[in-house]
Structure 1
Amino acid sequence: MKVETLKVDGAALTIHLNGPDWDGAPAATIGNVSFKVPKAGRELLQKALVRIRDAGFDRVLGPMAGDTWHSYRFVSESDGSPAFLMEPANRAHEPLIFAAAGFEPVARYFSARMALEKCDPAPLPAPADFTVETWDGNEPEVLFQEVFALSCVAFADNAFYTPIPESVFLGMYRPVIPLLKRELIFFARRPDGTLAGFLFAIPNYAEGLETKTVILKTYASFVPGAGRHMVHACHAKARAMGYETVIHALIQDNNRSADRSRKEGGEVFRRYELLGLKWDV
């Protein structure tokens, strides 16, 4: 058994026995948490923990549906604004049930919003080692193959990273293809044409088709300065397209993107936590 779904009246979760390493040892994960009834959730979580210990694991992460490519993290603080597109969401009592079972935060994240009229007032100097271009809108499969290849390298050193097959990644993003706007997808390319970075942004369709908010979902780069230039280009293009607000989404507290968002004046409106539990370690 690698993945098992547990259900009772009022609660459900999945157990994943192929989770990432945590401090040098394999961890199980608990994902797809839905505790409509708190008492049922508490009892089901305890049942899951027994299953995980019996399987030989001494540590577990949650919520995480197996890896960080899929849904993970609880909302820990919020200003009460509606969830944006592809944002994790949970009932307020669900992280409390995990905490009562002994789970503690092992990683923290935030989302921040900014008025686009205040972003990047001055143009950046032209880079020498790369150029920034938007996606041409053709061959979306090729687009995501390039993004996947770069992501596997760029994120490999991140905490709790686990590789996945390209086919799984493409299956996750195919449903998003009709929602894409090519003007909000950027590549940084070296002079020889090889990919040095990418940025993926998407309108916040959770607000409707006429949304005035764009989500800067993720970006990565290998060349110093490429990330900053792609973010600047994204802000400028979104402004020109009539968007009014940008969301810097799901940023880990201690990485470079977090520093950049803070320096640019991003206002945090949501915080998230990934929780973990160790036994006899």
Structure 2
Amino acid sequence: MTHHQLKNEGARLTVHLDGPAWDGAVAATIGDVSFRDRACGAALMDQALTMIREAGRDRVLGPMAGDTWHSYRFVSESDGTPPFLLEPSNRPEEPAVFATAGFLPVARYFSARMALADVDPTPPPPTDAFHIRCWDGTAPETLLAEVFALSSEAFAGNAFYTPIPQDAFLALYRPLMPMMRPDLIFLARAPDGALAGYLFAIPDYAQGPQSRTVILKTYASRVRGAGRHLVHACHAGALALGYDTVIHALIHDDNISAARSRREGARIFRRYELLGLRLDG
């Protein structure tokens, strides 16, 4: 992937010229943004957009470090609580510079919080299509390879999705595995043992090592109903482990997960936006 790092005395960013498709055209992305000074950020933004135009791109997404597998999105609304583990955060100057350059929201997301005591304890109807178990903590590379294959299939229809090689995926998740609790990784397996779905949850260590909040980070499935069963297993399992709060993290507003989170009564505490700019007007 072609990318260029730009910086001046008060700002830095990275331009990726080969980002996701947007309305049928390859978009450039601007990510790894840090604007300590608005004027410096604006000057760097002008330089980045000139580079993108000269490269022949007429779509730009940001903030996005090349693709949605990496860091993207600005916080657009907040209740003021501190960021949770792995949550994107930004200075006010950063979205302001993007807005001044003409960027507008192209996708919206939210995070919501709920007390585990308020979760409906009724399990979903039983099924013979799969069974849910916690990961046993063995063979992490094998598990990640299975998760990569399922994710590549399940996320392929998402807006701004870009496939990545398995090695790149493993490089993203390997550093997280030591922080993960096997009893907060839930796997749905078909009768033949094939992975039908997965859910990764992680304690919010940003609150400290004894955090009583668990983050429902990622889940995906290839079998209808598996997502619902996985979420229920996560809520019930986290409650049994002594956690009292769950965060439904970084959900796209139009995703089925959003409807599920709202239906369960989770309260939104943060909103995010991905921004886009059409250079052809």
Classify the TM-score, shorter chain: over 0.9
State the distance in 1 between where 2:79 and 2:125 align: 37
Other-structure match for 2:137? 137
Conserved 8 A contact 2:12-2:35: yes
* Matching of residue 102 in structure 1 with residue 85 in structure 2: no
Other-structure match for 1:59? 59
Aligned Cα root-mean-square deviation (Å): 0.9
Q: Where do 4+ consecutive residues of structure 1 move more than 3 Å?
A: none
Conserved 8 A contact 2:130-2:226: yes
* Matching of residue 115 in structure 1 with residue 124 in structure 2: no
SS at match of 1:120: coil
Other-structure match for 1:175? 175
SS at match of 2:215: strand
Other-structure match for 1:84? 84
SS at match of 1:211: coil
Correspondence list, 1:217-228, <5 A: 217-228=217-228
Q: Which amino acid aligns with 2:53?
A: R
Query: Could you give the per-residue CA deviations for residues 166-218 of structure 1, whole angstroms, max 9, x where no partner exists?
Result: 11111111111111100110111111111111101000011111000000001
Equivalent pairs, count = 281
For structure 1, the residue ranges without an aligned partner over 5 or more in a row are none
Q: Which amino acid aligns with 1:170?
A: L
The percent of aligned pairs where both chains have the same amino acid is: 65
For structure 2, the residue ranges without an aligned partner over 5 or more in a row are none
State the distance in 2 between where 1:140 and 1:128 align: 26
Give the deviation of 1:125 after TM superposition.
2.4
SS at match of 1:186: strand
Query: Could you give the per-residue CA deviations for residues 101-146 of structure 1, whole angstroms, max 9, x where no partner exists?
Result: 0000000000000000011222332212111111010011111111
Other-structure match for 2:237? 237
TM normalised by structure 2 equals 0.98
Q: Which amino acid aligns with 1:125?
A: P
TM normalised by structure 1 equals 0.98
Query: Could you give the per-residue CA deviations for residues 140-166 of structure 1, whole angstroms, max 9, x where no partner exists?
Result: 111111111100000001010001111
